[in-house]
Amino acid sequence: MCDNATLSRLTPLLREVFENNGLVATPDLQSSDVQGWDSLGQVRLFFEIEREFSIRFSSTEINSLRNVGQIADVIESKMAGS
């Protein structure tokens, strides 16, 4: 289960990438819920996530993630070194 601290760090990234100050990172938030979260938005978001958390995602990982909760879980796993 994703940590609130991770979601709190994702919120400003989502707001910046998608230019929407009302966005809040929640575990159930998915691309279809966010205007502009298309393939280019996905690339921009993961670029910012990798920069913010100093981690890297494979294209397979990115394509398998279905919501912000799953993204946060992978971030936490990578930061824990697993």
pLDDT band at 82 (very low <50, low <70, confident <90, very high): low
Residues 56, 12: Cα–Cα separation, whole Å: 19
**Segments forming the whole domain that contains residue 11:** 4-79
The pLDDT assigned to 44 comes to 97
Task: Give 19-66 pLDDT, tens digit per residue.
Answer: 999 999 999 999 999 999 999 999 999 999 999 999 999 999 999 999
Burial 22-34 (b: 16+ CB within 10 A, else e): ebebbbebbbeeb
The pLDDT assigned to 70 comes to 97
Residues 72, 67: Cα–Cα separation, whole Å: 9
Return the CATH number at 66: 1.10.1200.10
Q: How many domains does the chain have?
A: 1
Do residues 76 and 3 lie in contact, with contact meaning Cβ atoms separated by under 8 Å? yes
